[in-house]
Amino acid sequence: MSSPRNPFPKAARDALRGGARVHGESSLNTFADVSSLTYCHADADGFAAYLNQFNPGNFRYKDAGVQQWQYVEPYDHWQDTYGVDAVKVFWHTGHGGMDGNGTFFAPLGAKWNGQTWVNSTQMTLANQTLRYVFWSTCLSLRVHDGHSPWRSWAARARGLRMIFGWETVSWDNPNYGKNFWRHWNSTRKLSSAWLQAGWDAGRDQAPSVAAMGASADEAKNRVFNEGQLFWEAVSSAWMWWVYWDAARSIDTPVETSLQAPPAEAYLLELGPLGGRRKALASVGEVTVVDDGLAQIQLAAPAAAGETTASPLTQGSIVDAANGVVSALDLPDVDLVASTTRVLRTAGASADERADDAVAGYAVEYRQVVDGVPVITPEGGYLRVQLDAGGNPTAATLTARPVRERLARPVRTTPSPDGEPLGTSALDDQLGAHLAPLTADAVSAAPIPGTREVGYVIDGSQAYLGASQGSLVDFGQGLFKKVRVTVPLNQ
C-alpha cells in the first residue's frame, strides 16, 4: 500500500511556521433555523484528519460555532487565524442551495450580526490567504440550466486557484472528505480526486470543479492537472470547469440490483487488493492506496482539456472498456457493466464563453457475488476512464476477491406459512430507519431506482442488506438525498 503523501509542495512546506494558515474546516449537522443533517461532521473530519498528519489546522468549527463572520469581510481572516480567508484550504459541509440568479446560499449554526445565513454575494474570497475552497453542499457549483461557475463565483474570486462543489443535490454522506484524499493518493490530481469521491457517494449526482487563470489555457491546465496545493495567488481573468454529467444505465442481461432477499445469503470475507499488484502491473502502472482501492494507469493522459465535437456512442465506449476488463483478467471477481458517464468541460471570461464539450468518458462495472450485487456505492466496482477519443487511460478498482463465504440466513420473524421476508416487510424496515433522519423535514420521497438488495461492504467483510434513497425537502429551498441501509443477515 502507498504511504500518505503531503499534498503541499516542498517550497510551501518550508515556508510554514508551526502549520499556521494551512487549512480550516466548518461543518453543520445542527443549524440555527433549518432541519438537521447527519453526516456533515464526519465528512469534514475525514478531510481534516488527512491534512492534520502534516500540519494542524487553524480551526475546526461545528454547528453553533459556524457563523457568518467567518465568510465576510473584514472578519473572514480574523486575527490572521480564523475564517475562510485565513487559510490556504477551506472545507465547508452543510446545507446549500442556489437561486435563479446563480447566487449560492447556506444556512449557518448561530446568529451573528442578526444573520443566520450567508450567500456568495457577501463573500470576497482569496484577497488574503485562501487558494482552494471546497463547498461540500448541494448546488454549490452549478453548470446547467443557465448557471455556470463563472456566473456564480468569478466576481468573488481574488486570487483563488480552484473551487470544488456540486451541480446537483448531493447525498448526505460521511466519506467525501476521506475519499477525496484516498483518490488523490491514487491519481495525484485534485479535480479527479473530487470527481471520483463524489461519484463514490452516489451514481446519480454530478460533482464539479472550477479553476482560475490568466488565460483559457492556464485555467484549463489547472483544472485538469493541478496535483498539489500551491501557495501562490492566480489571476481570475479566466475560469475553466469540469464535471461528470449524469450517469446513464447500461442495459444488460444480468441483474445488477435485486428488490428482495435471495434464497441463500452469506457473510463474505474479502481479500485485500494488495495481493493483486503483480497481476495488475502487467496491464499498467499500479498504485494500491489501501486494501480496498487500487488505481491502474493504462496510458499517458491526453493534453489538458482535449475535447471532441462528435461524442462516441455508448456501445463504442463500453466496447473499449470491456477490453480493459479482459486485459485485467480478474478470474475470481464477477463484474457487470452498469453505468456510463460523460466528462464535460467548459470555460469563460468576462468577454468570452467556451461552450460545453466532451472531455472523456467512464464505464462502471459492479461486482456480483453468486448473482447478488454489491450495493455499497463506494466499493465493489471497477471504473474505466477513457479520453475524448475513447482510448482507455486509467482504471479504478475497489472490487475485492471473496476469500470465504459463511452461510448466514436472512433474519426475519417466523411466518406461519413459511413465506420469506417480502417487499412490504422491507419497506417497513427501511421506513423505520428513515423516520428519525427526516422527522422535522417538510417531506421525503423515494428516489426511483435506488431501492436495492445486495451485499454491503463493512471493512473486510460484506453482509446482505437492503437500501433505499430518498429526496428530502428541508424547506427554504434546501434539499438533500438520504440513503438508509438495513442489515438483513447480521
**pLDDT for 192-232, tens place per residue?**
999 999 999 998 999 999 999 999 999 999 999 999 999 99
pLDDT tens for 28-74 read 999 999 999 999 999 999 999 999 999 899 999 999 999 999 999 99
Around 158, how many Cα atoms within 13 Å sit in the side-chain half-sphere? 10
> By the 8 A CB rule, do 86 and 21 touch?
yes
* Residue 18 pLDDT: 47
**C-alpha–C-alpha distance, residues 146 and 101, integer Å:** 9
C-alpha 72/C-alpha 121 separation (Å) is 10
The contacts of residue 17 (CB under 8 Å, 6+ apart) are none
- Report the alpha-carbon distance of residue 359 to residue 311 in Å, rounded: 9
Q: What is the pTM of this model?
A: 0.95
Pairwise CA distance, residues 186 & 442, whole Å: 40
Element (H or E) spanning 90, and its range? strand 89-93
pLDDT class of 11 with cuts at 50, 70, 90 = confident
433 burial type by CB count under 10 A (0-12 exposed, 13-18 middle, 19+ buried) = middle
Mean pLDDT for 474-479 is: 96
Q: How confident is the model at residue 416 (pLDDT cuts 50, 70, 90)?
A: very low
- The pLDDT score that the predictor gives to residue 263 is 82
Residue 421 has pLDDT above 60, yes or no: no
Which residue bears the cell 481574488?
A: 158
304 pLDDT higher than 70: no
C-alpha span between 235 and 179 (Å, rounded): 30
Q: How far is CA 74 from CA 85, 153, 402, in A?
A: 10, 19, 56
- Complete domains list, the chain, with CATH: 10-244 (3.40.50), 249-256+271-404 (no CATH), 407-487 (no CATH)
Cα 80 to Cα 378: distance, rounded to the nearest angstrom: 38
Beta-carbon contacts of residue 408 (< 8 Å; ≥ 6 apart): 265, 266, 267, 463, 464, 489, 490
Task: State the pLDDT at residue 303.
Answer: 65
